[in-house]
Structures are given as structure tokens and as C-alpha cells.
């Protein structure tokens, strides 16, 4: 059956709506390193290398993890609109920035599970501080299953010595990075001063002015750079570490990075449905020697892609911004 003009217009409108959701995926320092294209019933996802962290992420690993999170969000949004997204990952070796072609096929109306997952897309927020409570027992099983569905695994740091070691490695990496001029310049680029009109980066309403100490303590990024910016935390803010997990993958190729990003977002959306938030600690994984040490000591034959803490955040609503969809979406010839 030939598509009518109405069908074409509906697909185009649905594609735009899905991209509007996809851009709410998490990305390292809120760099939003993605670009989307729409051509007929196909949506393309490309990495935007101009938004890669050249100092902290020279290989583009975290850039592709971020794009993978956007890809999973796109899939969820399309399913909520009654489409069956068929993903072709890294379809052209000669165009490494082309991360995915997503073909829209007719699907079933969204069921309750899809609707519930889609409802978390804009509820999910990153957290930068301690937690009021750790996840309830049993929740981790579902989060592990979510990661495995996307080809990754969650490895929990149960032993107190393992958690202490990961915290110490994070602290050491943060200490080194803060004293590296090129890194400090990069942080300054992506953590703008108050009053900015930018719609990217980690802005002052996205992090607390003072980060409560946890035991063991996982240091947060110094986005304020000692200037006193940030949201004033509640006086009774309880500082629990929460659940400490590593997101790991079997391989360490660009395809594995994109898959890890999809796994991350699937985990985060499931966590959000349980009123859980995630705090990211990527410092040690940005230092090659420390990442290799973590892999060898704590990950077996897998590769660490992200270090997370999960828990129930306080009632503070830290905010985030996104670029308008017009800046990341291009209409392409069919």
C-alpha cells in the first residue's frame, strides 16, 4: 500500500516528537554531542565531534555513550507513538560519526510498560550529592536485567573495601584533573557562569553549592571552580553513598560504547520509575591507567564504562537545559 501525504506528514511529526524526547538523554557535562536527521521513515543519529571533550575524552568514548543514551530514548519515544524502531548500528564504516540508522516500521499501540518507561524520560535527572536512602533490596535485579537487555552488565561494589578503593581512585583522579590547566579550561567551557543564555553545559542550577560528605566519599566535579555557585542544599540533607555500581561491557569498541549508552539509559529510566536518581563519577575512567586498574581488579574480563551511585535524592529540584530541537535536527532528502 502506497503511503498517503497524510501518512508521510504523520511520520515526520512523530519523528520530530521522538527527537524532542531523545535530546533529554544524559550526556557527559551536558555536552549534548548528537545530531539527528530525518528522511522519510528513517532517522539518523550522528555524533557531533565539535562537542567531544578533547582533554577528558580524546577517544570519544563518553561522547558515544552519551549518543547511545539518546538512541535508547529515541527508541522508547518511537514505541510510545506506535512505531517499531529497527536500529542499524554503525551502518557505514567509512562514516564513523554515523552511529545509527533507525527505520520506522508499523508497530503496536503502546502498552502500559512502554508508557511507564516513556513517562520517565523527562522525570529522570542526574544527581550530584549524597542520598536520603539506598535503593530497596530487589530493585537491583531489575536494573541488572535492564542493562543485560542492551548488551552490558551492572557490577555492584558490595565489599566495603571495594567501595573504598573506587572512592579513593575517583578522588585521586579528581585531584589530578583539577590541577591540569587544559582540563580546567575544558571544565570552564562546559560549566558557564551564572546568567548565561546557553542551553547546554552544566549550569549553576544543576549542582549543589556544597556537596555533602559521604562514607566513603565520592567527590563531585568542581563545576563552580571555587566561586560559590550552585544551589544551596537543605540543612538536613542526609548524605548516604547509595548503591555503587559499575556499568561494564564485554568489548571496548565504538559499538560497545553506543550499546553501553543504551544500557545506561534503560537502567536510568527503570531507576526513575522507582524514584531513584544516579550520580556519575567518571573521573577515574578518564585516566587510562586508572581505568585499566579498575578493569583488572574489579571487572573480570569486562571493560568499565561508567561508575554510578544510585539512591533516593532529596526533594531539591536541580535543573538542566537542552538546546532547541531545531539545533540538532535536520530534514534530509528521502
Position 21 confidence tier, pLDDT thresholds 50, 70, 90: very high
Q: Is residue 41 exposed (0-12), middle (13-18) or buried (19+ Cβ within 10 Å)?
A: buried
Instruction: List all residues 6 or more positions away from 189 whose beta carbon is below 8 Å from its beta carbon.
Output: 201
Q: What is the pLDDT of residues 122-156, one digit of tens each?
A: 999 998 888 989 998 889 999 999 999 999 999 99
Look-up of cell digits 540533607: 237
Three cell numbers, residue 210? 556544597
How remote is the C-alpha of 236 from its chain's centroid?
A: 29
Position 1 confidence tier, pLDDT thresholds 50, 70, 90: very low
Q: Where do the domains of the chain lie? A: 5-123+325-331, 139-311
One fold for 5-123+325-331 and 139-311: yes
The model's pTM: 0.95
- What pLDDT was estimated at residue 291? 98
- The topology (CATH level 3) of 5-123+325-331 is NADH Oxidase (3.40.109)
Q: What is the pLDDT of residues 66-120, one digit of tens each?
A: 999 999 999 999 999 999 999 999 999 999 999 999 999 999 999 999 999 999 9
Position 317 confidence tier, pLDDT thresholds 50, 70, 90: low
| Residue 263 reports pLDDT greater than 50 | yes
Say if CB 284 and CB 294 are below 8 A apart: yes
CB neighbours of residue 149 within 10 Å: 13
| Residue 172 reports pLDDT greater than 90 | yes
CB neighbours of residue 81 within 10 Å: 22
- The topology (CATH level 3) of 139-311 is NADH Oxidase (3.40.109)
Amino acid at each position: 500500500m502506497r503511503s498517503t501525504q497524510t501518512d508521510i506528514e504523520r511520520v515526520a511529526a512523530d519523528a520530530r516528537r521522538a527527537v524532542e524526547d531523545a535530546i533529554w538523554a544524559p550526556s557527559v557535562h551536558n555536552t549534548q554531542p548528537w545530531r539527528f536527521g530525518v528522511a522519510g521513515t528513517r532517522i539518523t543519529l550522528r555524533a557531533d565531534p565539535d562537542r567531544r571533550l578533547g582533554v577528558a575524552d580524546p577517544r570519544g568514548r563518553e561522547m558515544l555513550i552519551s549518543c547511545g543514551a539518546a538512541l535508547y530514548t529515541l527508541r522508547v519515544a518511537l514505541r510510545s507513538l506506535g512505531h517499531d524502531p529497527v536500529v542499524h548500528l554503525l551502518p557505514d564504516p567509512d562514516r564513523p560519526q554515523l552511529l545509527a540508522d533507525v527505520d520506522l516500521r508499523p508497530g503496536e499501540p503502546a502498552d502500559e510498560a512502554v508508557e511507564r518507561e516513556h513517562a520517565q524520560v523527562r522525570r529522570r535527572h542526574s544527581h550530584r550529592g549524597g542520598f536520603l536512602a539506598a535503593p530497596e533490596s530487589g530493585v537491583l535485579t531489575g536494573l541488572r536485567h535492564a542493562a543485560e537487555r542492551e548488551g552490558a552488565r551492572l557490577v555492584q561494589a558490595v565489599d566495603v573495601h571495594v567501595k573504598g578503593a573506587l572512592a579513593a581512585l575517583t578522588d585521586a583522579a579528581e585531584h589530578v584533573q583539577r590541577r591540569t590547566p587544559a582540563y580546567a579550561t575544558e571544565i570552564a567551557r562546559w560549566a558557564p557562569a551564572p546568567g548565561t543564555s546557553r542551553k547546554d553545559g552544566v549550569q549553576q542550577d544543576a549542582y549543589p553549592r556544597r556537596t555533602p560528605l559521604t562514607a566513603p566519599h565520592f567527590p563531585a566535579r568542581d563545576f563552580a571552580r571555587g566561586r560559590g555557585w550552585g544551589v544551596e542544599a537543605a540543612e538536613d540533607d542526609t548524605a548516604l553513598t547509595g548503591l555503587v555500581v559499575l556499568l561494564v561491557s564485554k568489548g571496548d569498541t565504538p559499538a560497545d560504547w553506543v550499546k553501553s549508552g543504551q544500557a545506561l539509559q534503560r537502567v536510568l529510566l527503570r531507576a526513575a520509575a522507582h524514584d531513584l536518581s544516579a550520580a556519575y563519577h567518571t573521573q577515574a575512567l578518564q585516566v587510562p591507567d586508572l581505568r585499566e586498574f579498575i578493569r583488572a581488579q574489579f571487572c573480570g574480563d569486562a571493560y568499565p564504562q561508567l561508575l554510578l551511585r544510585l539512591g533516593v535524592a532529596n526533594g531539591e529540584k536541580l535543573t538542566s537545559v537542552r538546546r532547541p530541537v531545531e539545533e540538532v535536527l535536520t530534514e534530509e532528502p528521502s
